[in-house]
Structure 1
Amino acid sequence: MFDSLANALPHFRNTNSGQFFLMAGPCVIEGEDMALRIAERVRQLTDKLQIPYIFKGSYRKANRSRLDSYTGIGDETALRILQKVGREIGVPTVTDIHESGEAALVAEYVDVLQIPAFLCRQTDLLLAAAKTGKVVNIKKGQFLSGEAMQFAVDKVRQSGNEHVILTDRGNSFGYADLVVDFRNLPVMQRFDVPVVMDVTHSLQQPNQASGVTGGQPALIETIAKAAIAVGADGLFIETHPTPATAKSDGANMLPLDQLEALLVKLTRVREAIR
């Protein structure tokens, strides 16, 4: 849809565009066929509804509860799949990095470097991502207010990179739950960056005694509608053909066959508030 995602970012602000944009895909890259299948289907839907689309997939899961939790199919293999998705499906791609040494390598394969919420204050990581010149999507820490994310944005911008997105994914509530404070969306928009609501991760129930994160996928539509009504510039939704068999975060992912109906409803909400 755009020749350069970085140049397109101003159009992703809802002050300049009639539609929200979507980051969507599986939690983790499980294989080439599945990644291409998901990306192609979401691209079909978003083209139909004129929604700008960025394919999401983690090339490696570094933040796991248990040592035996699934982490990925291998860094180079997964990164090459992300690159192939971008080229063959014709969409920008985003993946997360966890250490500053990953930034330059991963930037060779994807369009957006994502900073996980737990790491949003890590200065070296933010600077390394910024210096690649790629778009940097910073997830708001579960322990931070929207106001506090100004400093993360400043670190990237003061490194010479103006291409920043902020993503909310809820706030910690007790030991094993999250809540969404929708005030954070307009607060972070004051920093003149596109602001995204991570719908599925905000419905996680972390720190379960089993060591496997739970979730409330029945509330995906509720959170998504509320975010669009508040004026979110974009949505982040993890989706999978069969969440029950997903290698990671299946408990809070949206079944791929339910995405179209949800997006249709969300475009209607967006139209209603314009």
Structure 2
Amino acid sequence: MNKLRGEIDMFTLYAGPCVIESEELVLNVAKEISDICKRLEIPYVFKASFDKANRTSINSFRGPGLEEGLRILKKVKDEYGLPIITDIHESWQAEPVAKVADVLQIPAFLCRQTDLLVAAAKTGKKINVKKAQFLAPWDMKNVVNKLKEAGCNDIMLCERGSCFGYNNLVVDMTGIIEMKKLGVPVVFDATHSVQKPGGKGNATGGNREYVEYLAKAAITCGADHLFMEVHPDPDNAKSDGPNMVKLDDLEDILKRIIKVYDAVNEE
């Protein structure tokens, strides 16, 4: 075993397809990524959304919905022994989702919604809150305070880029440093950070070739964990295809990121 990864906590990979397209796809991706992470000795949490409630177009695919989505996520958990992370968009979803998910994720656009944060906190689960594209990193202190006041101390904050003009995001890596000052782990969302919101008119665009570069930079700036959306055929995915990592490329990308991680954490 790599000495560093045997003696200190390795970053956890939160990864999977953007949305549950089918049970077969979800199970296949979960198994493939799980096998990769076992080979690379990386802790792994499976991610997929049961509902994408913030799609650009009303005609866009949203997913199977809560009941069927949770059934599929539970099957992933039962068959492969994987912890689960998935998003919630409304307060009432927190309780049923917490029966399956190990980590509840708050979408960036909703990170200031007090009722949603309180409902998530009351489940007793770990909470990952994505920093809104319109918020300064230090303003996330108010999000942390809301969760703590509601009884949650197992909190992560997630950097996923900031608005930079129309249809464009940039990542200010100093934001990772600023959010770590709040005393909680920081996750770097390497795939949503390369989005072009609304960039295709009725859908989101993106550029997946930048994912690896931004992930490496985030690790050097102290990101604790990585989030990536992964798909076997991103160009034909039903959501977020342009910014998702191709499953066949994931292992090599992670190997190169690990080299950076080991260099940064070398004693």
TM-score (norm 2): 0.95
* Contact 1:229–1:270 under 8 Å retained in 2: yes
Residue type at the aligned position of 2:218:
A
1:171 is aligned, of 162, 175, 181, to 162
In structure 2, the residue matched to 1:154 is 145
In structure 2, the residue matched to 1:91 is 82
Q: Deviations over 1:158-178 (max 9, x none)?
A: 111111111010000101100
In the TM superposition, residue 107 of structure 1 has moved relative to its aligned partner by 0.9
Runs (5+) with no aligned partner, structure 1: 1-13
Matched, 1:224 2:215: yes
* Contact 1:100–1:128 under 8 Å retained in 2: yes
Task: Please give the secondary structure, in 1, of the residue aligned with 2:51.
Answer: coil
Q: Deviations over 1:105-149 (max 9, x none)?
A: 111121111000000000000000000011111000101111011
CA–CA distance in 2 between the matches of 1:86 and 1:172? Answer: 35
TM-score (norm 1): 0.92
In structure 1, the residue matched to 2:95 is 104
Residue type at the aligned position of 2:51:
R
Q: Deviations over 1:74-124 (max 9, x none)?
A: 321111111111121111101101111111111112111100000000000
Residue type at the aligned position of 1:263:
L
2:43 is aligned, of 47, 52, 69, to 52
1:71 is aligned, of 62, 65, 69, to 62
Task: Please give the secondary structure, in 2, of the residue aligned with 1:251.
Answer: helix
CA–CA distance in 2 between the matches of 1:209 and 1:117? Answer: 20
CA–CA distance in 1 between the matches of 2:98 and 2:86? Answer: 9
Matched, 1:17 2:16: no
Matched, 1:211 2:216: no
Residue type at the aligned position of 1:201:
H
Runs (5+) with no aligned partner, structure 2: none
CA–CA distance in 2 between the matches of 1:77 and 1:18? Answer: 34
Q: Deviations over 1:1-47 (max 9, x none)?
A: xxxxxxxxxxxxx9x93421110000001111111111111111111
CA–CA distance in 1 between the matches of 2:187 and 2:19? Answer: 20
Alignment RMSD (CA, Å): 1.3
CA–CA distance in 1 between the matches of 2:199 and 2:42? Answer: 36
After superposition, where does 1:221-260 map in structure 2 within 5 Å?
221-260=212-251
CA–CA distance in 1 between the matches of 2:56 and 2:212? Answer: 27
In the TM superposition, residue 207 of structure 1 has moved relative to its aligned partner by 2.2
Matched, 1:28 2:19: yes
CA–CA distance in 2 between the matches of 1:109 and 1:62? Answer: 19
Task: Please give the secondary structure, in 2, of the residue aligned with 1:84.
Answer: helix
CA–CA distance in 2 between the matches of 1:151 and 1:17? Answer: 30
CA–CA distance in 1 between the matches of 2:208 and 2:10? Answer: 24
The ranges of structure 1 where at least 4 consecutive aligned residues each deviate by more than 3 angstroms after the TM superposition are none
CA–CA distance in 2 between the matches of 1:39 and 1:75? Answer: 19
* Contact 2:199–2:206 under 8 Å retained in 1: no
Matched, 1:143 2:130: no
CA–CA distance in 2 between the matches of 1:29 and 1:224? Answer: 24
**What is the number of equivalent residue pairs in this alignment?**
260
In the TM superposition, residue 67 of structure 1 has moved relative to its aligned partner by 1.1
CA–CA distance in 2 between the matches of 1:243 and 1:251? Answer: 7
* Contact 1:167–1:195 under 8 Å retained in 2: yes
CA–CA distance in 2 between the matches of 1:58 and 1:74? Answer: 9
Percent identity (aligned): 50
* Contact 1:19–1:267 under 8 Å retained in 2: no
* Contact 1:225–1:269 under 8 Å retained in 2: yes
